[in-house]
């Protein structure tokens, strides 16, 4: 319980990954998620514009737990199947954070089977988002490390709050773990090989102004205008002939997507072998202890 508490505060935001308490899926929970408003994701879908706003609201820091990832995927599937829905804005309902990334508690002290199931869900989210036919805009209204950054990178366009207390980046290396090849490929496609090499080797987190400079985000706006700007942007994107835009998006991304799709099992096995190593588990434990002390 102490550990859970530790991740409720600001401390987690300064970190690399995140964790949150969560239980296994219960039947009632699953049925709840069939509503457009599920516990961890609030979806506001406007049929007149064809735009859905997905608000992440999994306290404290929108950690990407297995449950959360499953909800994201179910929400995306529902929207993707709705012919009227043409665009998504992804944003956070939690203060100061977009998403703090993958939930450490899904990887620490868990069985290889659980770790594998978790990793499959991370892959699934990436495949659904990076391969989405819809226009996807990240309205980054808080810090966005690791998996949070990955979510942003899958979108067609990234608007970030111009607040120097926030940062964004794939900082896995700082924690002693490794961003997999498809995280890397997504970043290379966005900011090029050299920026990615340096960012991933050092586990860099970028302030908004730096992120804009290297192209990690596309636009900075005052914090209270992130959603407005995202709405204006998506309107422009939706004015583009849809079929041609979709084919073009697919052409730009299919090689990167295909690379994971044809290597999913090996990638899962690779992750499980790595994360269940004693030395890596020790790193995770030390990291969580450090967070606890920060909190205390």
Chain positions contacting a copy of itself, by CB under 8 A: 156-157, 172-179, 181, 184, 188-194, 196-198, 200-203, 215, 218, 236-237, 240-241, 243-245, 247-249, 251-253, 279, 283
Residue 257 CB, shortest distance to a copy of itself, in Å, is 13
Residue 216 CB, shortest distance to a copy of itself, in Å, is 10
Instruction: Give the nearer residue to a copy of itself in terms of CB position, either 133 or 163.
Output: 133
Residue 24 CB, shortest distance to a copy of itself, in Å, is 30
Which residues on adjacent β-strands are paired with residue 138? 90, 158
Active-site residue, selected from the candidate residues 69, 87, 106, 172: 172
Per the annotation, the verdict on 102 as an active-site residue is yes
Instruction: Give the nearer residue to a copy of itself in terms of CB position, either 173 or 263.
Output: 173
Instruction: Give the nearer residue to a copy of itself in terms of CB position, either 90 or 135.
Output: 135
How far apart, in Å, are the Cα atoms of 87 and each of 48, 136, 149, 230? Answer: 12, 6, 20, 11
Between strands 51-56 and 41-46, the pairing is antiparallel
Which residues on adjacent β-strands are paired with residue 145? 169
Per the annotation, the verdict on 106 as an active-site residue is no
Instruction: Give the nearer residue to a copy of itself in terms of CB position, either 43 or 260.
Output: 260
Active-site residue, selected from the candidate residues 50, 116, 147, 169: 147
Active-site residue, selected from the candidate residues 69, 148, 169, 171: 171
Q: Report the distance separating Cα 99 and Cα 142, nearest Å.
A: 8
Instruction: Give the nearer residue to a copy of itself in terms of CB position, either 41 or 89.
Output: 89
CA angle 278/284/285 to nearest 5° reads 85
Residue 134 CB, shortest distance to a copy of itself, in Å, is 12
Contact, 150 vs 186, CB < 8 A?
yes
Residue 113 CB, shortest distance to a copy of itself, in Å, is 24
Residue 223 CB, shortest distance to a copy of itself, in Å, is 24
Active-site residue, selected from the candidate residues 66, 102, 153, 260: 102
Instruction: Give the nearer residue to a copy of itself in terms of CB position, either 44 or 197.
Output: 197
Catalytic positions, please? 102, 147, 171-172
């Amino acid at each position: 319980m102490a550990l859970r508490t530790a991740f409720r505060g600001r401390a987690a935001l300064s970190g690399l990954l995140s964790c949150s308490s969560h239980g296994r899926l219960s039947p009632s929970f699953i049925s709840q998620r069939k509503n457009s408003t599920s516990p961890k994701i609030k979806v506001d879908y406007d049929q007149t514009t064809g735009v859905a706003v997905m608000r992440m609201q999994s306290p404290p820091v929108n950690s990407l737990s297995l449950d959360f990832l499953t909800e994201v995927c179910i929400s995306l599937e529902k929207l993707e199947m709705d012919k009227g829905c043409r665009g998504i804005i992804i944003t956070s309902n939690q203060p100061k954070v977009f998403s703090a990334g993958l939930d450490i508690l899904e990887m620490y002290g868990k069985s290889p089977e659980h770790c594998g199931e978790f990793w499959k869900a991370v892959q699934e989210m990436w495949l659904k988002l990076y391969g989405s036919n819809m226009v996807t805009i990240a309205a980054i209204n808080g810090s966005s490390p690791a998996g949070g950054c990955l979510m942003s990178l899958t979108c067609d366009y990234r608007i970030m709050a111009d607040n120097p207390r926030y940062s964004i980046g794939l900082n896995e290396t700082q924690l002693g773990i490794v961003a997999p090849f498809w995280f890397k490929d997504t970043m290379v496609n966005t900011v090029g090989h050299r920026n990615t090499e340096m960012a991933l080797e050092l586990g860099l987190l970028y302030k908004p102004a730096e992120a804009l400079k290297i192209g990690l985000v596309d636009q900075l706006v005052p914090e209270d205008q992130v959603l407005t700007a995202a709405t204006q942007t998506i309107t422009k994107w939706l004015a583009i002939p849809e079929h041609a835009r979709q084919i073009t998006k697919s052409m730009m991304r299919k090689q990167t997507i295909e690379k994971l799709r044809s290597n999913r099992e090996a990638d899962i096995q690779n992750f499980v072998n790595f994360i269940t190593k004693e030395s890596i588990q020790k790193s995770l434990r030390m990291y969580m202890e450090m967070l606890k002390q920060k909190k205390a």
